[in-house]
Each structure stands twice: as C-alpha cells, then as structure tokens.
Amino acid sequence: MSDAGRSTGPFSPRMALALVAGGIALFLLVLWMIGSGMSERKANNGGAHAAAKGLTGYAAFAQYIGKRGYPVALAKSPGALHQPGTLVLTPPAYTDTAELSRIVQRHRSFGPTIVVLPKWGAFRLPRTRPDVKEGWVELGQPLVASWKGFYDDITLSLDRKRPRQITSGWVGAGLAGPMPAPGVILSGSGPRLVPLVETAESGQVLAAYVADGGDYPGLRDMATRAEPEVDEDETHGDYPVVFIFDPDLIDNYGLANPTNALLGERLLAAAIEGDDRRVVFDLTLNGLGRSRSLLTLAFEPPFLAATLCLMLAALVLGWRAFNRFGPPLLGTRALAFGKRALVSNAAGLIRRTRRMHLIGGPYADAARDRLTRALALPARLSGSDAEAAIDRALVTRDPQSPAFSATAAALRTARRPIDMLRAARTLHLLERTLTK
C-alpha cells in the first residue's frame, strides 16, 4: 500500500519544542531588558551630572575616583541616596529646594554630603557636525542658583572679570592651579563656612564645609581658616556637609588640568576621613530618576539575587519531583540572631536609661586591653602602667599624636555625647596608628 495519502503536520515534534523554548527565552529576554533599564533615555544628555561627558558634567571625576579605588555608583532612585557612603549632589539651578534639603539632612546620618552648585547655562551641540560627539555642549551665560530655604545663611557671588583683571587661580589642600574660565568665578560666604579652597589673591571661597559643632578632623586639617564658634544648642554632630561653590574645580571642564582631579580626590578623602569609601553620585535631581515597578525591582540589585534564586528553586523543584533524595531536613530559625541586632538593642537600652556617660570608661579600658595584646605588653601591668607604655610606643611611632592616657582620661570624664564622640574617635585613630 502507498503512504501518499497520509496527512503529515507542518512541524516535527522537535521543531515545535524548539519554537516553544525560543518563545520563552525571547519573553524572558524582553523582561530582562525592561527591568535593566535598557528602554530608558540616555544619561549622557549634556547635563551637569556624573553621567554627562560634556563640559559641565562630572563623568570624568566619577571615573577618576573609581580608578583610584573608590566604589562609585550612580543613583537613579531615591532609595539609593540613603545608604552608607559619601553622597555627591549636583542639583540644577531650578531644583526643588525642599527636596534638596530633605535629601541632605536625611543623608547626614549615613555619611558625608558634597553639594556642587551649578554655574553654567549650557546648550547641546547638534550631532550634524562631524566633530561633535554625543553629549557635547556649548557654554552659555553663567548663572547663580537661588535656593531659598536651603542654607539661607550662605550667600553666593558671581564675579565676572575682564581679561586684564585676571591674575590668579585657586589654592587649597596643599595644591594650586588655574581656573578653566578665570574670568567667571562663583564663590560663597557665610558665618558658618570653613574655607577649603580659595582664590589665590582675593581669598574668595570656592569650596568650604559647614561648621555645625561636629568633629571633622580631616576637613579641619585641610581648612585655610579656623572654625567659627557654634552655638551648642545647634550642634548637629553627624557627618559633614561640603559645598563646592565653583563647579569648575571638579567638572569635566576643570579636569582638563590634572591638578583639579587631585584636588577633588583630596576633598573627598578629607570628608570621608577613613569611613566607608563608597561614593554615590545623584542623578535624580537632574531628571534621570526612574520609577520603581515590580518588574524593574526584580531585575536589579539587591532583588536580582532573589529573582535568580526563585528561578533556580523552580528548576530544583521540577527535578526533585521526579527524583526523591534523602530524608527531609529539619527546619532552622528563619531569622537568626545577629551582632547588629544585639548592638542596636544594647544601644537603645543605654539611650533609654540616660546612662551614656557610663560607657566611656569601659570603652577606654577595652581600647587599652586591645593595644596591650597588640603590643605584646606584660599582662601583669596595671592600667596606668599599660597606658604609660602605650604612650611611649605612640611617641616612637608618631611624636605628633596626642597621648593615649590623656585621651582615655578625657573619655572617662566626658559627660556630653559630642565630647565622648570626639574622644572615642581620637582613641580609634591612635589604635589604628599603633596597629596598622
């Protein structure tokens, strides 16, 4: 008999399986592209932010400090602004001052904040010209931001000089260099500002930090003037706020001079002062924030790990449905006890009982015992003898450092939280000096 009249399908079973598998793979690829933000507009749009490569952008500075060992991140969501590390804000002149003030004050509990003020109006160059690259801009008229309600005690001044009046550049952090546009200088002044960078001759403040009663030894050592007296009732005591009034010190325009890059790194290191080296550049104030959908959250850290785990769990469950292996494991505690929870509970108890002054002595004794073991001192030494031996070791290692015994005594007698914090930080630095 002939098989000519037998009907056959257009696709073989293998081909049908391949089409279904390919469709699933393409669907997952589309979900990943949407979740990873590939459908968003380009960040290199000629603005004054860390993703822009034009004259007014800060992409060069972000790449520079990244190559210098600082973990760098570009924040496109409000949640990324409230994490440990240094936050660099580059708000435009028309920014919402209430939102800017909220971001700065909230981040002061997490790390230092550097606010770079706008100075230039810029226009994107058309890509029709063969010598123009993506994101290039042409500088327009200079401008002065008016942010009412945000550090109103700071006054901004825009100084425009004629070519014959241009005589100097900037000095600060042990460095000196020229300004890329020396005829246009944006400076700031205020009763609580402590200058870090000034013009060489006129002394105009180009960068400064705000004196609010906090202890910032790194910035204080770099300052060109002494800190002003601050009312104790207004003491903040958190991480510092640094203002860079003239953005040409660290923007792409200014980083054509290598000395400006070194200046920016020193300002950053002084603000960080040995803490978390993570640096976050904000893009939300520049209009590059993106909405957080569930799909977007599923395909970006830290939720990407959970998504991958769910996919892997689905594969494991499918495989286990056909292959039973071993007896079921006993369940473990869902939320294990951790050091962070214990420390938080202990700190909360001390705060509630108003007995913070009682922790100074034990902290100083613990630091002395650690150094006694690190320096291999005899265990039979009394507390005073051990501190005297530590003082002698400090004189040998760093003659300029304060005595350990005097700092420990100051910590034991301190009653105000700010005095205890200063003494504890000094003890920590002395311990690092002897153990590094």
Q: What is the pTM of this model?
A: 0.60
Model confidence at 8: pLDDT above 80: no
Query: How far lies 236's CA from each of 8, 19, 52, 146, 418, in Å?
Result: 81, 64, 34, 25, 9
List, for residues 89-104, the tens digit of each pLDDT value: 999 988 989 999 999 9
Phi, psi of 387 (to 5 degrees): -65, -35
Where is pLDDT greater, at 128 or 123?
Answer: 123
Please report whether residue 339 resides in a domain.
Answer: no
Residues 392 and 257 in one domain: no
Taking alpha carbons only, the member of 405, 379, 411 closest to residue 392 is 405
Residues 359 and 276 in one domain: no
Distance between CA atoms of residues 301 and 252, nearest Å = 29
Taking alpha carbons only, the member of 46, 60, 49, 55 closest to residue 95 is 49
Residue where one domain finishes, among candidates 322, 340, 375: 322
Comparing 90-94, 192-196, 331-335, which segment has the lowest mean pLDDT? 331-335
Query: Could you identify the residue written with the tokens 């520079």?
Result: 64
Please report whether residue 8 resides in a domain.
Answer: no
Compute the average pLDDT of residues 366-394: 84
Residues 311 and 421 in one domain: no
Q: What angle do CA 158, 159, 162 make, to 5 degrees?
A: 145
Residues 281 and 306 in one domain: no
> Residue 188: its pLDDT value, please?
93
Kind of pairing between the strands at 279-282 and 86-89: parallel
Model confidence at 122: pLDDT above 50: yes
Residues 284 and 296 in one domain: no
**Could you tell me the pLDDT band of residue 165, with boundaries at 50, 70 and 90?**
low
Residues 253 and 162 in one domain: yes
Domain housing 376: 354-435
Residue where one domain finishes, among candidates 271, 288, 305: 288
Residues 222 and 109 in one domain: yes
* Amino acid at site 329: L
Comparing 27-36, 77-86, 152-161, which segment has the lowest mean pLDDT? 27-36
Of the chain, the percentage scoring pLDDT greater than 70 comes to: 83
Alpha helices (runs of H) in 68-108, residue ranges in sequence order: 97-107
Model confidence at 298: pLDDT above 50: yes
Residues 313 and 245 in one domain: no
> Residue 3: its pLDDT value, please?
47
Please report whether residue 141 resides in a domain.
Answer: yes
Copy the structure tokens of residue 123: 């226009």
> Residue 326: its pLDDT value, please?
56
Q: What angle do CA 216, 70, 260 make, to 5 degrees?
A: 75
Residues 363 and 381 in one domain: yes
Distance between CA atoms of residues 64 and 102, nearest Å = 29
Distance between CA atoms of residues 89 and 240, nearest Å = 14
Please report whether residue 334 resides in a domain.
Answer: no
Compute the average pLDDT of residues 229-258: 83
> Residue 91: its pLDDT value, please?
92
Please report whether residue 115 resides in a domain.
Answer: yes
Query: How far lies 280's CA from each of 90, 91, 284, 310, 333, in Å?
Result: 11, 14, 12, 30, 35
Model confidence at 7: pLDDT above 50: no
List, for residues 14-46, the tens digit of each pLDDT value: 776 677 678 778 877 777 676 555 555 577 777
Model confidence at 325: pLDDT above 60: no
Cβ(84)–Cβ(110) below 8 Å: yes
Compute the average pLDDT of residues 166-176: 83
Distance of CA 141 to the CA centre of its chain: 31
**Could you tell me the pLDDT band of residue 232, with boundaries at 50, 70 and 90?**
low
Residues 64 and 160 in one domain: yes
> Residue 371: its pLDDT value, please?
85
Distance between CA atoms of residues 246 and 117, nearest Å = 7
Model confidence at 436: pLDDT above 90: no
HSE at residue 285, side-chain half, CA atoms within 13 A, is 28
**Residues whose CB is less than 8 angstroms from the CB of residue 291 and which lie 6 or more positions away in sequence, other chains included:** none
HSE at residue 63, side-chain half, CA atoms within 13 A, is 10
Please report whether residue 270 resides in a domain.
Answer: yes
* Amino acid at site 320: R
Q: How many domains does the chain have?
A: 3
Please report whether residue 33 resides in a domain.
Answer: no
Quick one: CA dihedral 9, 10, 12, 14, positive or negative?
negative
3-state secondary structure of 121: strand
> Residue 112: its pLDDT value, please?
92
Residues 222 and 365 in one domain: no
> Residue 2: its pLDDT value, please?
44
Model confidence at 6: pLDDT above 60: no
Dihedral class, residue 287 (left if φ above 0, else alpha if ψ from -120 to 50, else beta): left
Copy the structure tokens of residue 90: 């580059």
Query: Could you identify the residue written with the tokens 């399986």?
Result: 17
Count other C-beta atoms under 10 Å from residue 24's C-beta.
Answer: 10
Residues 252 and 308 in one domain: no
Distance of CA 70 to the CA centre of its chain: 9
* Continuous segment of H or E residues that includes residue 159: strand 155-160
**Could you tell me the pLDDT band of residue 265, with boundaries at 50, 70 and 90?**
very high
- Average pLDDT over the chain, rounded to whole? 81
